[in-house]
Amino acid sequence: MQESETAPSVAPQVVPPAAPQVALRLRGLTKRFGETTAVDNLDLDVPRGSFYGLVGPNGAGKTTTLSMATGLLRPDAGTAQVLGTDVWADPVGAKSQIGILPDGLRLFDRLTGQQLVTYAGLLRGMDRAMVAERTGELLAALGLTDAAEKLVIDYSAGMTKKITLACALVHAPRLLVLDEPFEAVDPVSARTIRRILEDFAANGGTVVLSSHVMDLVERICTDVAIIAAGVVLSAGTLDDVRAGVSLEDRFLGLVGGSTDVEGLAWLRTSSD
């Protein structure tokens, strides 16, 4: 498998003996936008080596939480620690250990795929030879070699997610934070992304991803947190959280809201 051959080069190397057992520790994170509170005094611990799924309805504060955890958005209150390093006290130290795939932010898409990954690597202060080597391997692993010299703006949605993932992996982070990594991605690309992430986690890396596809989270994650209205409703291992029922049922039970469809009789025109 091509992916597994290349995985070691992007997976974390040797784990220091005194490495903390929590990869991402959030305490009292709060963010308000005007009068709405997007994230409300949120606590979360992501164990090292876990494949952590963050699920929640639209507008639950997933993206805001992940942005504050990775240094992209300054919290109004609270702290975020990545492997023991405070993201807002020592941003450079913390950021060197994180790889990010944000959702809804642009890329420098007038660069070619190869240039973009190279850019991400050089921005991190890596030397050129290592960047070139890893860029080649990442593009091959993600099946983007043929598109390496195309502008990213001409990429499909799936290719764009994959190239962003390559940018997130090029500096061999210990923690990967992925916002909706499977949204608008075709099944083939999704499988490729999943394999790379599973390899990454199997070699000691930690993956945090947000999604609202329950089936997917249930299949690939070891740990889950259910978030709604900026608060963690339930968190822990997958089995603890779903407590005997399916994750979707558990989620709907916690988040609430009726799923019965009323009215819309006029839509049923096929019965005419």
Partner 1 sequence: MVAHLLRLKLHLLRNGLRRSVAAIVGMVVGVLYGGGFVLVGLAALISLRAQGDLHLARSAVVIAGAGLVAAWALLPILLFGVDPTLDPTRFATFAVRERTLAVGLVLTALVGLPGVATTLLVLGSVVAGSRSVPSTLAALVGGLLGLLTCVLLSRIGTAAASAVLATRRGRDVAGIGGLLLFVSLGPVLAGLTGGGLNRATVDRLAEVLAWTPLGWAWAPAGDLALGDWGGGLLRLALAAALCLALLMVWERLLVAVLRNPRSASAGGGTVGGGLGLFARMPGTPMGAIAARAGTYWIRDPRFNVPAVMTILLPAGLLIPGVGSDSELALLAMPLASAYLIGWGQHNDVGYDSTAFWMHVASGVDGVSDRLGRLFPSGLMALVCVPLYAVLGPVFGAPWRLLPATFGVGCALALNGFAVACVTSAVKQYAVPAPGENPFTSRPGSAGVTLGVQAVCGAAVFTLSIPALVLGVLAYLGWEWAAWTALVVGPALGVVALVIGTRMGADLFRRRQAILLQDLVSMR
Least Å from the CB of residue 224 to partner 1: 25
Q: In a 10 Å sphere around its CB, with 0-12 CB exposed, 13-18 middle and 19+ buried, how is residue 236 labelled?
A: middle
What gap in Å lies between CA 237 and CA 271, rounded to an integer? Answer: 46
- Only one of the segments 11-19, 91-99, 235-243, 248-256 lies at the binding site for partner 1 (rule: CB under 8 A); that segment is 91-99
Q: In the beta sheet, which residues pair with residue 36?
A: 33
- Only one of the segments 152-160, 221-229, 231-239, 250-258 lies at the binding site for partner 1 (rule: CB under 8 A); that segment is 152-160
By beta-carbon proximity to partner 1, the closer residue of 90 and 240 is 90
Plot region of 49 (φ>0 → left; ψ -120 to 50 → alpha; else → beta):
left
Least Å from the CB of residue 130 to partner 1: 10
What gap in Å lies between CA 50 and CA 127, rounded to an integer? Answer: 30
Least Å from the CB of residue 30 to partner 1: 15
- Annotate each residue in 250-269 with x if it binds partner 1 (CB under 8 A) or - if it does not, as one string: --------------------
Least Å from the CB of residue 209 to partner 1: 16
Name residues contacting partner 1, limited to 45-84 (CB under 8 A): 70-74
CB atoms within 10 A of CB 81: 21
Q: In the beta sheet, which residues pair with residue 176?
A: 99, 207
Q: Which two tokens stand for residue 7?
A: 């995985």
Least Å from the CB of residue 171 to partner 1: 8
Alpha carbons within 13 angstroms on the beta-carbon side of residue 127 total 2
Exactly one of 9, 30, 79, 115 binds partner 1 (CB under 8 A); that residue is 115
What gap in Å lies between CA 45 and CA 22, rounded to an integer? Answer: 6
Q: Summarize as ranges the residues that interact with partner 1 (CB under 8 A).
A: 70-74, 91-92, 94-96, 98, 100, 102, 104-112, 114-115, 118-120, 122-125, 127-128, 131, 149-151, 153-155, 167
